[in-house]
Structure 1
Amino acid sequence: MTDSARTGLRIKSEPGVHPEVRRACLEFAKWLRKEFEFPKRVVVYLKNDYQIKNRFTKELVSATFLAPFDKSVEPYIRIATGDYMELLAENGQDDALAAILGSIAHELGHYYQWVDDLELDEEGAINNSEYMLDLYAQTRDHP
């Protein structure tokens, strides 16, 4: 990575993403930027879809992290938020939003594995997600 490489975390929300989801994700990202370093710019795209297709496995999933082989290319994360109303009805607002924030934290776990040239593994991403969400939960009553 060169000195001119962009850094930081950005959230981009496509039209149709529920306003409460967008608010919670922007608030989470603001907190993340204060607590963690993002040495390579990563954009989190909030999608209005129920699921998104993993570009490599072609599976339908709720979130993906694109880890470029070329470290000069910026990685990105896609998060499906289209099931928010169902999650809300089934689990209530806090748990519905926590599930989406958990997807972001999980994919950020893969981001940090990529930054550190580690193998992308699920156990590490799950541990990262739990760590981030536990820290975040200590700062507020609701997501």
Structure 2
Amino acid sequence: MMNRVVLVGRLTKDPDLRYTPNGVPVASFTLAVNRNFTNQQGDREADFIQCQIWRKPAENVANFLKKGSLAGVDGRIRTRHYEGQDGKRVYVTEIVAESVQFLEPKRDGNGPRSEETNYNSGTRNENPFPDNDYPGISDDDLPF
């Protein structure tokens, strides 16, 4: 059997980092993933997918991603349920990420950095756009 998900999208808000009672970090975030087609009005719609990542990668996500960041998520689908305050059963479907790739260089106030860090592996890569402005995003590009 197989349960595998690969997504690329933008964070809808800053990640929420929490710690279990045993001190294990867990970060939750929502990824907006554009659909491959437009609706009848010609607008591109997006799916908003709840994601969760654990341990050191959770801290990296919380420290280096923010609202609007482009990220790739590799993980699995998890479904669970619990009893809500009204006594009804609530079902939740979410992605448990095994890795999150940061797909844009971190920006400072003066534009792109000259180097990008891959925080999942600890290696450094040269910026592929050293002499040009990195093609960033504007508020009009975001689906939220």
TM range (shorter): under 0.3
TM-score by length of 2: 0.25
TM-score by length of 1: 0.25
Work out which of the two has the higher radius of gyration on C-alpha atoms and give 1 or 2.
2
